[in-house]
Amino acid sequence: MRARLLPLFALLASLAFAQDNYPLYLKLRLDHAVKTSVLKPGDVLGGTLAQDVYSADHELFPAGSALRLTVDHLERRRRVLNDHWPWVIRFFSPRHENFPAFRLASVASPGGWTPLQVSLIAISGKVDVHSSRSDSSPVAALKDANASAGSRNKPPKRNMSQVVTLQAAPADSNALPESSFVLSRALTIPAETHAAVILLTPVSASKSKPGDAVTARLVEPVRIGPNTVLPEGTLFHGNVLKRTPPRWLSRPGSILFSFSGLSFGGSASSPISASVSEAEFDRGSHTRVDPEGQLRGGPPGKAWLLIDAGVTAGIAKEADDTLQLIIEAIVSSATDASTAGVGRIAAAGASGVFMITRHGRDVILPQFTEMDLVFDRPATIHP
């Protein structure tokens, strides 16, 4: 009995370790693009941090710090859903693929190389998709004013290079500095203040429903002048407001969600109003963000329509041939010439139904999608 329980205890211990000791969020921009399918245990990947790494109100490693990863082993992981191709391609695509698994990494710091325990989130090329209001003059003016005061605002557009996203913790648990963050007085976060978060609950236009809870985690502190208002690790709580799943006639889906509360350090939730101004997707995504923060799938595109047209032609040919064979088997006097008209009608009907019922692109935000939120109105954070 004890022998049978040992694997269960090991699993529970690993889950607790993953939840309690992986508080850091790292993005490594690789020096060279790699194919995950050809990596082997022992291979070393090198690059630099794409953004600062924080713990609470402390900056642990600045952007640009060198980081090295060593492949521990390979494992099969389920492919992350995307909006690149119609269902025909997805149906015949492999459901799983080989991914490298990492356990140890090291990042350059003033005192030498700091060892880290890491867990892979994703390896892919990324591009930021932002709403048009992010470039409006009032926000741009506010960004310049806050930047001069040392406040964090909307980050510059990131490079589209291949990045490795990781969860990490120092190998020495005592290496993390103790947080000194204390909110001694009420502070007001101005409207149009930006916050960099990662999504903790996956969201999609096809599966999410209005009212579903959405949670995100702050990965960089929000500062107003010299004061830290929200430390890294702050949780944003929200809900799906509305969604339109992908529909017939290749019409794309859309989804709108916003955040109405935040909490940190076990504190009670503070009311806010924040929406999505920018989200990070892989390069093949066609999702767009409108000025209200609603995410919309893009049009099908030429490749999508050509694939559907090819499948339609195949269905029409099979329907034509199959119906003629059935009629000729039942009616002994039937010939190809006499059944051609009926076959064409059946082919046209089958192909028409197929084209009409094709759904458009979905809007898919996997877990750990990086987003930029903007406060729609001022919010007061109390001690």
| H-state helical runs in 331-366 | 336-356
User: Residues 203-223: pLDDT tens digits?
Assistant: 999 899 999 999 999 999 998
Whether 157 has a pLDDT exceeding 50, the answer reads: no
User: Which of helix, strand or coil describes residue 52?
Assistant: coil
Indicate left, alpha or beta for 293 from its phi (over 0: left) and psi (-120 to 50: alpha). Answer: left
pLDDT at residue number 215: 94
Confidence band for 6, pLDDT divided at 50, 70 and 90: very low
Q: In this predicted model, which residue has the larger pLDDT, 305 or 286?
A: 286
Question: Is the pLDDT at 348 greater than 80, yes or no?
Answer: no
In this predicted structure, what is the pLDDT of residue 99?
80
Provide the token pair at 79: 């492919």
pLDDT > 90: percent of the chain: 22
Domain borders along the chain are 21-300+362-381, 301-356
Fold of 21-300+362-381: Lipocalin (2.40.128)
pLDDT in tens, 93-128: 777 777 888 888 999 988 788 888 888 888 776 565
Average pLDDT over residues 8-30: 53
The whole-chain average pLDDT of the chain stands at 75
**Lowest mean per-residue pLDDT among 144-158, 291-305, 346-360:** 144-158
Tokens of 189: 């976060």
Q: Say whether 267 sits in a helix, a strand or coil.
A: coil
**What is this structure's pTM?**
0.74
Report the first-to-last Cα separation within the chain, whole angstroms.
Answer: 51
pLDDT per position as a tens digit, 45-69: 899 998 899 888 888 899 999 999 9
Closest CA to 368 of 200, 204, 195, 122: 200
